[in-house]
Structure 1
């Protein structure tokens, strides 16, 4: 049974002097790399935007470099299986943690689709806006307008990444996929030569830690979870498993596309012995 089953949270233990030393040392380096990268990105964007408009030929490489460096600083091992597709379209993945953003950006130059509230979060919101995140509101009244934004970015050639579960979990299961955003691939103005690539993100906790160590869900605060990861004396690993792309022209509906992506991602977690992913 995981904490997700009964609503409990893993017991938090004091970090101790050594833990706080790791928080400070890792946190300072990570902060310098992150915000140094942000400043560099904004400076490059001053030139990139007037010359290239919505296109971003340079700045995504800065984002990717910062995320790769973050894994080195944190000490989390990262392994990539399969290959990101070269075709235009989108990536979809299971959602377990704020670490997913770092994990998936490190593996591929992409643009995230995020809930609108994130834009107002201190620090994270600034980073998200600077890196070209697409913000969507989840109110039914805004569905059409949000779908249009999604379609425009796809038509511009941006490779978008979204989490069809609609929320994060403890990383030990996959929730049923929502098919709403998949509808953009069947809109009249969107090219039919696109594909959607499912990706399984599988976290392994540090030795002896709760299996859901990297999971960030429910009412967990970002700050406390970040401190826990920074303080860990040992780190685990994450596997990014790219599955075969699904051509949108070969799928009849958004619901069918969502079902195929969900099945592939569940199988990807089950391959690592996470049997609950198949439920």
Structure 2
């Protein structure tokens, strides 16, 4: 698959007076909700942690509520199909935008797996750490440390969610899945008790807009993309499809499991084939 799409031209940012008004109102409301929710979460965690340790029976509900309200503030309708898994294990999804964090948290209670650089991002890093994000390094030398961290969180009953594509896209394609992180499920007997649930995320652009409207890829900066989303009058919509969970030990190895998840997600994404 070629990667010319990464350099595809992006329409310039144009925001009118009414758009800037939306940016101000929605931005202020969204910021207050997000960091107000963070403050509440941290206060609850002060009680939750001594009582339950790594388990988090309360705070994920706060995260999910904040994300659902955030989508309402953005006026971005969310449609959820299928049922979140009840088995122990992890969730994998295609990755199109920073909006995936709100969308997937709103759809079910999960803990994201993110690249280590995110931990240092101003504002966003604080949110990620507080909500229990697992940070991983891309260096091969860190593989054993990451595997141990995965095991520890999985055995604590945390539902991890990661993006096997390894990067966000333009929202109209599904990239080949990398199998590296799937290796954690083939250690110390985890494969006999863990399941993986593939999840498809589909963004439908506002009427008349570029199909890539919600995509965030390549060298695109976060600020302009956020402004464009906040300024949009009539939004599009987003769908989340929960597919049937599969037992890890039904697949011979991590590559076979990764390929299965990729095929399930690709075949249910209406634009994926055209986007290749």
User: Are 2:80 and 1:87 aligned?
Assistant: no
Q: Which of 270, 273, 276 matches 1:275? A: 273
Preserved CA contact (<8 Å) 2:89 2:160 = yes
User: Are 2:73 and 1:76 aligned?
Assistant: no
The CA RMSD measured in Å over matched residues stands at: 1.4
Superposed counterparts of 1:177-188, under 5 Å = 177-188=177-188
Q: Deviations over 1:55-108 (max 9, x none)?
A: 000000000000000111000010001111110100000000000011000010
Deviation for aligned residue 1:249: 2.1
Cα distance change on mapping 1:46 and 1:237 into 2, 3 Å: same
Superposed counterparts of 1:158-197, under 5 Å = 158-190=158-190, 192-197=192-197
Preserved CA contact (<8 Å) 1:169 1:215 = yes
Q: Deviations over 1:216-239 (max 9, x none)?
A: 011111111100000011100000
* Partner Cα distance (1:198, 1:267) in 2: 12
* Partner Cα distance (1:170, 1:56) in 2: 34
* Partner Cα distance (1:17, 1:126) in 2: 32
Cα distance change on mapping 1:218 and 1:90 into 2, 3 Å: same
Preserved CA contact (<8 Å) 2:203 2:239 = yes
3-state SS of 1:154 partner? helix
* Partner Cα distance (2:82, 2:237) in 1: 17
3-state SS of 2:19 partner? helix
Deviation for aligned residue 1:274: 4.2
Give the aligned length.
Answer: 274
Preserved CA contact (<8 Å) 1:155 1:191 = no
User: Are 2:78 and 1:112 aligned?
Assistant: no
User: Structure 1 stretches of 5 or more lacking a match?
Assistant: none
TM-score w.r.t. the length of structure 2 is 0.96
* Partner Cα distance (1:49, 1:249) in 2: 33
Deviation for aligned residue 1:273: 4.7
* Partner Cα distance (1:189, 1:155) in 2: 11
TM-score w.r.t. the length of structure 1 is 0.95
Displaced runs of 4+ in structure 1, greater than 3 A?
A: none
Preserved CA contact (<8 Å) 1:26 1:74 = yes
* Partner Cα distance (2:24, 2:9) in 1: 25
User: Are 2:34 and 1:38 aligned?
Assistant: no
* Partner Cα distance (2:4, 2:76) in 1: 23
* Partner Cα distance (1:4, 1:133) in 2: 31
Deviation for aligned residue 1:147: 1.3
User: Structure 2 stretches of 5 or more lacking a match?
Assistant: none
Query: 1:157 matched to which residue of 2?
Result: 157
Q: Deviations over 1:147-168 (max 9, x none)?
A: 1101111111110000000011
Query: 1:27 matched to which residue of 2?
Result: 27
